[in-house]
Chain A
């Protein structure tokens, strides 16, 4: 008889796994988050609420309270983090990248950029950006784009669309709720003729720090960029850290940097009924 031929034996076997194998697995959450190892400088352990690493094909969704900081690390330089965001209290309001680039008059997002909802509010702002290479146009891969309509291929080589659908399903949301996602750490250059080309700099670690300006449902995936045409592109792990932080002050340099951004913050403050603190 094997060790797992009885419930008691199977239970003992199951429980032994946490002790014997946890240390070997890199792509996992840390619970509680404050037990996180190898924190980057400046990340406050006592306010940490999320530590999770996603490997290739990984996905996660997370409620992020207003004022929280979210640090996303491309640990080895090969991550491509697809990101969607929703107003957690009313998910019909969601990231709108067309408005994001149009309102800010800029297609390449970077430090100080806002991620705008389709209701004129700022969901998240980019506080730090060691990468400066992001893509707000191309969305993510799908079963068709990876030619993996076949169920087995679809599981073995995950596409971004499926990953988003799986993450959104945890919140009662469906394919219908998918808008075009942001891609962090991958830049797609737009030529004067409108042409698109994925830049391929030598891989190097990088990170961004976002600030939640609303109560946000954050949905992230880590899959190869949709313009990646190598047959098996390496996708390396991405780490997500979040910690509680203060809401944005009236004189915050991102808030006041342009008239459009100021109005996006004012719309958030109006939504939550914040006391007025002046402004333009």
Chain B
């Protein structure tokens, strides 16, 4: 478990998200969300929304264009569809996070692994479940961040979700630059290595300086 005493601030919230479950929370400007990969190699799918205008949301394209790189790591800025920095990665003990692989869904699972996987739980269902409580829905889903997931691109363009580079206790810190609604799916995927074929819990700590 992460050492709470090592956090550079006052803890406002501390919660373990069960394997396969959704999670969301408003992180106010100036607060920092630490996501801890408790057991290692656990993908955490994540979309950000402007807390007061959810039509403004994380944009993978704006984010990778801004930094001219598809991987997220310390110093990366998560940019909205309006070109605004929503959160900044202020600390990162993993080093690679994905912007291009998107979320697993019943539908994409069926394409990738066969029609027999149609009824497996998937990240899109987590996002939709969490969104339903606030009147948001499918139109609000956009390409997401996958914390702790590694998706390399080879010179010929080959791309794939491969064995993760994270490990037990690795974490990423996200400082909110605006009031940000963070919506997460603790990825339930069991057909590819993003969760080492065994979904595990993650810990979400919100702290303020």
- List residues of chain A with CB under 8 Å of any chain B CB: 92, 96-99, 101-103, 105-108, 116, 118-121, 137-140, 142-145, 161, 174-180, 190, 192-197, 226-227, 259-260, 263-264, 266-267
Give the residue of A107, A139, A176 whose beta carbon is less than 8 angstroms from that of B153.
Answer: A107
Chain B residues whose CB sits within 8 angstroms of the CB of A174 once the complex forms: 55
Interface residues on B, range: 35 or more
Give min CB distance, B113 to chain A, whole Å: 9
Give min CB distance, B5 to chain A, whole Å: 34
18 contacts between A and B (CB under 8 A): A98-B143, A102-B102, A103-B111, A105-B159, A118-B108, A120-B108, A137-B64, A138-B64, A145-B65, A175-B55, A176-B139, A177-B139, A192-B154, A194-B69, A195-B69, A226-B65, A259-B114, A263-B114
Give the residue of B55, B65, B138 whose beta carbon is less than 8 angstroms from that of A138.
Answer: B65
A121 vs B114: C-alpha distance in the bound complex, in angstroms? 13
**Could you tell me if A196 and B143 are in contact, using CB atoms closer than 8 angstroms?**
no
**Could you tell me if A118 and B64 are in contact, using CB atoms closer than 8 angstroms?**
no
**Could you tell me if A118 and B69 are in contact, using CB atoms closer than 8 angstroms?**
no
Tell me what chain B mostly uses at the interface: helix, strand, loop, or mixed.
loop
**Could you tell me if B141 and A193 are in contact, using CB atoms closer than 8 angstroms?**
no
Q: Given the known A-B contacts A138-B61, A176-B140, are A193 and B69 also in contact in the complex, defined by CB atoms under 8 Å?
A: yes
Chain A residues whose CB sits within 8 angstroms of the CB of B158 once the complex forms: 105-107
**Could you tell me if B110 and A263 are in contact, using CB atoms closer than 8 angstroms?**
yes
Give min CB distance, B134 to chain A, whole Å: 14
Chain B residues whose CB sits within 8 angstroms of the CB of A259 once the complex forms: 114
CB-nearest residue of chain B to A106: B157
**Could you tell me if B61 and A137 are in contact, using CB atoms closer than 8 angstroms?**
yes
**Could you tell me if B102 and A227 are in contact, using CB atoms closer than 8 angstroms?**
no
A137 vs B139: C-alpha distance in the bound complex, in angstroms? 20
**Could you tell me if B100 and A103 are in contact, using CB atoms closer than 8 angstroms?**
no
Chain B residues whose CB sits within 8 angstroms of the CB of A107 once the complex forms: 100, 153, 157-159
Give min CB distance, B73 to chain A, whole Å: 9
Chain B residues whose CB sits within 8 angstroms of the CB of A99 once the complex forms: 102, 105, 107-108, 111
**Could you tell me if B161 and A102 are in contact, using CB atoms closer than 8 angstroms?**
yes
B81: Cβ under 8 A from any A Cβ? yes
B166: Cβ under 8 A from any A Cβ? no
Give min CB distance, A266 to chain B, whole Å: 8
B176: Cβ under 8 A from any A Cβ? no
B82: Cβ under 8 A from any A Cβ? yes
CB-nearest residue of chain A to B114: A263
Q: Which of B83-114 contact A (CB under 8 A)?
A: 83-84, 100-103, 105-108, 110-112, 114
Q: Given the known A-B contacts A102-B108, A264-B111, are A178 and B65 also in contact in the complex, defined by CB atoms under 8 Å?
A: no
A143 vs B81: C-alpha distance in the bound complex, in angstroms? 10
Chain A residues whose CB sits within 8 angstroms of the CB of B151 once the complex forms: 102
A73 vs B184: C-alpha distance in the bound complex, in angstroms? 41
A71 vs B160: C-alpha distance in the bound complex, in angstroms? 30
Q: 9 nearest interchain CB pairs?
A: A98-B102, A139-B61, A144-B83, A120-B107, A108-B157, A194-B71, A190-B153, A194-B70, A194-B69
